[in-house]
Structure 1
Amino acid sequence: MGYSIIGITLVLVVLLLFPFSLWIYQPFWVIRILSRLFTKLILYVPTEKNVFAITFDDGPNPLYTDGVLSILRKHDVKATFFVVGERVETHPEYIEIIRKAGHQLCNHLYSTTMALLLSRQQFVESLLRTEELINEQNDPKLVRPPSSLFRFWMFDLAKTYGYSVVLGSAYTLDWCKPPRWYMRWALKRMLRPGIIVVVHDGGGNRQRTLDVLPDVIVEAQRRNLRPVTLDELIRSSDRNPGSNAV
C-alpha cells in the first residue's frame, strides 16, 4: 500500500511539473502538437531544407546587440531581431546597422508590457507605433508578443494589419540566467530543421547568451544546419507554417 501511494504521488508530481518544464526545454513532439492545436501561430516551420532561425528579443541594447552582431558576422550567419519600439527610439541607429548586416527586423511591440495585459486598442497602437519606428518591410510582417504570451483574439487582429504571430520552438529562458552549460546542452539538443530559437539581446544582462551563442552556431554548422532569417525560413517551406502567414 505504501509503495502504491509513493508511486501515485510521483506520477502526480511529474504531471504537475511537466508543463513548467516546457518553459526551459521543448521536446519537438510537444511543439508539433502545439502547432496543430494553435494553427494560427507560427512555432516552427516545416521544411525539408537544413535551415533554422535564431531570433533575438527585447533589443536593441548596445551592451549586447553589438556583441551578437559581431558573433553573427564572425560565423557568417543571419538572424532575426524582434525589437522593442521604445528601445528603438533610444537607439534608432540600430535599425540601419541590423539591416545593413543582412539581418531581419521584426515587431516586438512598443514596450515589454505583457501582451496578456493589453486591450485590443493598446495592442494595435503598440503594434503600429513600432511598425513605423522600424519601417516595417517584411512580407509577411511578423510580430512576437512580449514574454511570448498571447490572447486568442490577437491572431485575427494582427492579421487585419498584415501580421503573422510568431513564437518559437527552442527556449531556455535565458532571461532567467540559467547555467551556461544548460543553455548549451538544451539548445544543441533542440537543433533541427525548421526550429525557431528564441534568445535575448536586451532587457537585462545577456552575457550568458553571448557566451553560449558561438557554441550553438558551431554545433549547427557541424550538423550542416544553416541559421537563416525568419523570412528565408518561411520561404523554404512548401507548407503554410500558420494559417495567419500570408
Structure 2
Amino acid sequence: MRRYFLKNPFWVRWRYPGAVWKVPTTKRELFLTFDDGPHPVATPYVLDLLAKYQARATFFCVGTCIERSGHLMERMVRAGHMIGNHTHSHPDGWVSDTASYLEEVTACQNLIGLSAGELLFRPPYGNLRFRQLKALKKAGYQIIMWSHLSGDFDQALDREQSVGYMKKADSGSILVFHDSEKAFENLREMLPRVLEHFSTLGYSFKTLSNL
C-alpha cells in the first residue's frame, strides 16, 4: 500500500508550483471530486446520490474506463458535472518519462473530447515530475490536487477516522473519493455521511469550473 495523507501537510504543496489544492472562496461551498471512473456500478451510485443532494462534482476519468463505460460521461454532463483527465491507464508520473506520460494524457483527452469544457488534470497517486507539470501547464491544463483525501481505496481504512478528517473541511476545500470497484464498499459508507453533514451545515457542492 502506498503511503498517503488524509489531509495534506503544508509542505506537500511546495512540490507542485501552480497546482490547485484549494479553491479561493468566501462562500460556503466545497468541491467534490471522483477519480478512477467511470465504473458501471460505482459511478451510477455516485450520480444518484449527488442528485439527491443537488450536488455537483468533477470526475477525473481514466481512459481505459471510458472505453468500457463511456456512456456514463453523457450522464455526468447532463447532470451538470465536470469531467477531468486522469490519464489513459493510470501510470505513476514518478516512474514515467515525460514523453510517454504526455501521450497518456493526450489519449485520455481524445476520449473525453468535447465533454470537457476546460482542461483539468489530476495525476494518478498525486505523483508528477516537475517537467511533466510544466509541460501540462504549457498545454493549457489546470493541475488539480486536493486538500482532503478520503482514502476509500484502502481496504484497511479506518472509516471513522477518515470521515472525521473530511468533516474538518472548510470553504474551498477539494475532497477526493473514487468511483471504482476497489473503493466502492468504503465509498457507499462514507460519501452519504459527508454529503449529509455539510448539507446540514448549509454548504453547497460545486464543480471546478472557472478557476
Give the deviation of 1:135 after TM superposition.
1.1
Q: How does 1:8-157 map to 2 (within 5 A)?
A: 23-26=5-8, 30-31=9-10, 34-35=12-13, 38-136=16-114, 138=116, 140-157=118-135
Which residue identity is paired with 1:141? L
1:104-139, Cα deviation, whole Å (9 max, x unpaired): 100000012212222111111111111110114545
| C-alpha contact (below 8 Å) 2:53/2:199 kept by paired residues | no
| C-alpha contact (below 8 Å) 2:57/2:81 kept by paired residues | yes
Which residue identity is paired with 2:205? P
Distance in 2 (CA, whole Å) between partners of 1:41 and 1:53 is: 15
Which residue identity is paired with 2:5? W
Distance in 1 (CA, whole Å) between partners of 2:115 and 2:69 is: 19
Q: Percent identity?
A: 27
Distance in 2 (CA, whole Å) between partners of 1:93 and 1:129 is: 17
| C-alpha contact (below 8 Å) 2:147/2:175 kept by paired residues | yes
Which residue of the other structure, out of 176, 183, 187, is the alignment partner of 2:166?
A: 187
Which residue identity is paired with 2:196? V
Q: How does 1:229-244 map to 2 (within 5 A)?
A: 229-231=207-209, 234=211
Distance in 1 (CA, whole Å) between partners of 2:144 and 2:114 is: 16
| C-alpha contact (below 8 Å) 1:25/1:186 kept by paired residues | yes
Which residue identity is paired with 1:24? L
- When the two structures are superposed, what TM-score results if normalisation uses the length of structure 2? 0.91
| Large movers: runs of 4+ above 2 Å | 33-39, 136-140
Which residue identity is paired with 1:60? P
1:7-49, Cα deviation, whole Å (9 max, x unpaired): xxxxxxxxxxxxx6x61234xxx44x55466431111112112
Mark the CA change 1:36 to 1:148 in structure 2 (over 3 Å): closer, same or farther.
closer
| C-alpha contact (below 8 Å) 1:98/1:104 kept by paired residues | yes
Which residue identity is paired with 1:102? G
Which residue identity is paired with 2:166? L
Q: Quote the RMSD (CA, aligned, Å).
A: 1.9
* 2:180 pairs with 1:202: yes
Distance in 2 (CA, whole Å) between partners of 1:147 and 1:136 is: 26
Mark the CA change 1:186 to 1:133 in structure 2 (over 3 Å): closer, same or farther.
same
| C-alpha contact (below 8 Å) 2:7/2:147 kept by paired residues | no
Distance in 1 (CA, whole Å) between partners of 2:183 and 2:202 is: 31
Alignment size in residue pairs: 208
Question: Which runs of 5 or more residues in structure 2 are unaligned?
Answer: none
Mark the CA change 1:200 to 1:24 in structure 2 (over 3 Å): closer, same or farther.
same
Distance in 2 (CA, whole Å) between partners of 1:35 and 1:230 is: 19
